[in-house]
Structure 1
Amino acid sequence: MSKIKQPNSRHCFICGLENPIGLHLHFYETEPGVVETIYTAPDHFQGYPGVLHGGIVAAILDETSGRAFMGSADAPRFMFTGKLEVKYRKNVPVGKPLKIVGKAIKDRKKFVEAWAGIYDESGELLAEANAIHINVPQGKLDMSQLDELGWKVYPD
């Protein structure tokens, strides 16, 4: 399967392309239920010299795990996080490319179980998370407003 680019939004902290302080990540579905991105964190997201702040690590893992269940650009599945359990295995560096992977684990209709991991250039797992994401209740998000959110696939 070739990579399928997922949509971005305008203002999301993780994927919002117009967010001046955001991460601007682009996600690609590499197979059903698996998403990937590459990210090099800038120095201004460090917790202490050379190390990505743990809160930013958690935010990346949160978004990536949920994206594993996102689905298609024209009928996305929006969810919010019910539980995020992060394991910080090693320091996640700033200034070096990171491979970030999300995997769908189990779909329970109203909520899902997912996993995400951050790897260094050598393939070593630096941080990972197990997550539960809950469907946004019907009527809470007007799907006809996706254009206003800037929710679309942008060219690379």
Structure 2
Amino acid sequence: MTELAFQDQYADEYAHCYGCGRLNEDGMKLKSYWDGEETVCRFTADPKFSGGYPGFLYGGMIASLMDCHGAATAWAAKARTVQQEATRFVTASLKVDFRAPAPTNVELEVRGKINEIKGRKVVVDLTLSAAGKLCAEGSAVMVEIPINRQEG
């Protein structure tokens, strides 16, 4: 049996994100999985996401990959530890430190590790690497959307 990606388990109402939403036809459709106590997401960026210097990603794409994987990691960790269906997580804070240029047309690996779970808040430490070389690292504070939120 193949493990389902975290994003493939989101309820339909939470599956429209550009980065990871399975229901967003124009999105990147990122997929995240457990790898021991860490999570992993792999993605090969098209050259159209160049940061102005051919062959390398722009910083916003790097942040987007880390952001979406961080949210997925928070969701999976909460579902695993609380043993209940989690809704979806949104970003309260994202910190990215760029360490080296991240290439296009090379498989990138984004890893997440849970730093803290407290109520609706999950803090995730993140790295983004290409061919084993660290390109970016940082952390995200993710907050779970309340299950019974009220509009207005």
Query: TM-score, normalising length from structure 1?
Result: 0.77
Equivalents in 2 of 1:105, 1:14: separation in Å?
A: 23
* TM superposition shift of 1:22: 1.7
Query: How many residues matched?
Result: 138
RMSD of aligned residue pairs (Cα, Å): 2.4
Amino acid at match of 2:94: L
Q: Is this contact kept in 1: 2:45–2:105, CA < 8 A?
A: yes
Q: Tell me the equivalent position of 1:57.
A: 62
* TM superposition shift of 1:18: 4.4
SS at match of 1:83: strand
Query: TM-score, normalising length from structure 2?
Result: 0.78
* TM superposition shift of 1:128: 1.4
User: Is residue 132 of structure 2 the alignment partner of residue 128 of structure 1?
Assistant: no
Question: Please, which runs of 5 or more residues in structure 2 have no aligned partner?
Answer: none
Q: Is this contact kept in 2: 1:62–1:129, CA < 8 A?
A: no
Question: Please, which runs of 5 or more residues in structure 1 have no aligned partner?
Answer: 142-156
Q: Is this contact kept in 1: 2:74–2:123, CA < 8 A?
A: no
Q: Tell me the equivalent position of 2:51.
A: 47
After TM superposition, the runs of 4+ consecutive aligned structure 1 residues lying more than 4 A away are none
Q: Tell me the equivalent position of 1:117.
A: 127
User: Is residue 36 of structure 2 the alignment partner of residue 36 of structure 1?
Assistant: no
Identity of aligned residues (%): 25
* TM superposition shift of 1:115: 1.1
Q: Show CA shifts across 1:34-57 (max 9, x none).
A: 211211100111122111111111
Q: Tell me the equivalent position of 2:28.
A: 23
Q: Which has the higher contact order (CA 8 A, sep 6+)?
A: 1
Which is richer in helix? Answer: 2
